[in-house]
């Protein structure tokens, strides 16, 4: 259960590389025992934020605290509190899964017998018992990510950072990792994850921070963000290519989705009947171009499009969801 004390807090956090701001005054707070997602396009500052919180990168300005410890002044205390699973698994391919976990446990200070028990417990928890005796080089992508996450939990951290943990995984492996994240939060671990998968943030996170240009564009639960920034969407299917082109021209930059192959277009609307009728009359005045239409509620995709203000980038980011 989350308490009123933040497990992770940043105030006016700033970082630049080569004079280019990557974080430009980021302020956020992550409640204890919650799952908090940093969502944003490439270059929004997600990974830089995680690196600063994990004490791997020093901020240029502002402040950040993890479990009450300043990430600059109290680096050692922060590192004893956290664990980090990055975008690339930090594993020894030539060792077995068991050997990797045993090595991590010994590095964490556990005695040999305790390290063996911890490795065995984690292999069971992450459904890797049968693969524990195999070299990691033989593991699938999903198995490697599960083992990497298991290794990050050897020291039983109170805060864990997951930097795009499911990138490149097949749907089954992604689902498995989602279950693990939910289990961690249920056990009281604070999870801060970065992701480009909108479905992932919608599914897992208690709170979502949308980063854009190094700033916090919005923060809230998925339902709050949809209500505040999303709109209903009028989805149109046209009769033919000529009708598609004419309708796309009339809508101009209001188009939020375009699929020329399927002859589909979409435009934001408030969902009210008068507004829908007005749009239909506007884009199909002779009532011959539209084959069918649908009005649906906002998704996190729509929120993302609204907040980032970059439809091209946003469509690329959501293409794999």
H helix or E strand, kind and range, residue 243: helix 241-251
pLDDT of amino acid 73: 96
User: Taking the CB of residue 88, how many other CB atoms lie within 10 A of it?
Assistant: 12
**pTM, full prediction:** 0.73
Tokens for 307, please give them. 């907040």
pLDDT of amino acid 317: 36
Q: In angstroms, what CA-CA distances link 102 with 98, 135, 208, 262?
A: 6, 14, 35, 53
User: Taking the CB of residue 81, how many other CB atoms lie within 10 A of it?
Assistant: 19
Q: Which residues of 56-65 are buried (b: 16+ CB within 10 A; e: fewer)?
A: ebebeebebb
Helix axes 241-251, 273-283, angle to 10 degrees: 120
β-strands 82-85, 159-163 pairing = parallel
pLDDT of amino acid 320: 30
DSSP-derived secondary structure letter, 210: E
- Would you kindly state where each structural domain of the chain is located, as residue ranges? 6-227, 231-297
pLDDT of amino acid 309: 64
- Find residue 37's DSSP bridge partners: 193, 208
Q: Do domains 6-227 and 231-297 have the same CATH topology?
A: no
CATH topology of domain 6-227: Rossmann fold (3.40.50)
Q: In angstroms, what CA-CA distances link 182 with 186, 187, 201, 204?
A: 6, 9, 12, 7
CATH topology of domain 231-297: Alpha-Beta Plaits (3.30.70)
pLDDT of amino acid 74: 96
Successive 10-residue mean pLDDT values, the chain, 321 residues: 71 94 95 93 90 96 96 94 79 93 90 94 90 94 85 88 83 82 88 88 92 91 82 89 95 88 89 90 93 86 73 35 26
- Find residue 84's DSSP bridge partners: 161
Backbone angles phi, psi at 113, to 5 degrees: -65, -40
Residue 199 burial by Cβ neighbours in a 10 Å radius (0-12, 13-18, 19+):
middle
């Amino acid at each position: 259960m989350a308490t009123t004390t933040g497990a992770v807090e940043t105030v006016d956090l700033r970082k630049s590389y080569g004079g280019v701001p990557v974080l430009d005054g980021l302020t956020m707070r992550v409640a204890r025992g919650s799952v908090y997602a940093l969502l944003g396009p490439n270059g929004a500052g997600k990974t830089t934020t995680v690196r600063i919180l994990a004490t791997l990168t020093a901020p240029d300005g502002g402040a950040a605290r993890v479990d009450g410890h300043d990430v600059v002044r109290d680096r050692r205390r922060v590192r004893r509190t956290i664990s980090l699973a990055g975008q690339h698994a930090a594993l020894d391919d030539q060792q077995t899964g068991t050997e990797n976990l045993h090595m991590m446990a010994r590095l964490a200070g556990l005695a040999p017998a305790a390290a063996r028990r911890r490795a065995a417990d984690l292999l069971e928890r992450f459904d890797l018992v049968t693969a524990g005796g195999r070299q990691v080089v033989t593991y699938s992508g999903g198995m490697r990510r599960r083992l990497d996450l298991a290794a990050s939990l050897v020291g039983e951290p109170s805060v864990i950072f997951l930097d795009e943990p499911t990138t490149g995984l097949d749907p089954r492996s992604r689902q498995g990792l989602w279950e693990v994240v939910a289990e961690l939060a249920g056990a009281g671990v604070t999870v801060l994850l970065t992701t480009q998968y909108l479905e992932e943030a919608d599914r897992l996170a208690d709170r979502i921070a949308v980063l854009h240009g190094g700033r916090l564009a919005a923060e809230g639960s998925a339902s709050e963000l949809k209500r505040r920034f999303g709109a209903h969407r009028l989805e149109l299917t046209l009769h033919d290519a000529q009708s598609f082109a004419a309708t796309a021209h009339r809508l101009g930059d209001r188009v939020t989705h375009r699929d020329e192959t399927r002859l589909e277009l979409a435009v934001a609307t408030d969902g009210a009947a008068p507004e829908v009728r007005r749009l239909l009359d506007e884009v199909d005045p002779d009532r011959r171009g539209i084959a069918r239409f649908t009005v649906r509620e906002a998704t996190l995709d729509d929120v993302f499009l609204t907040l980032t203000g970059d439809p091209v980038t946003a469509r690329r980011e959501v293409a794999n969801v």
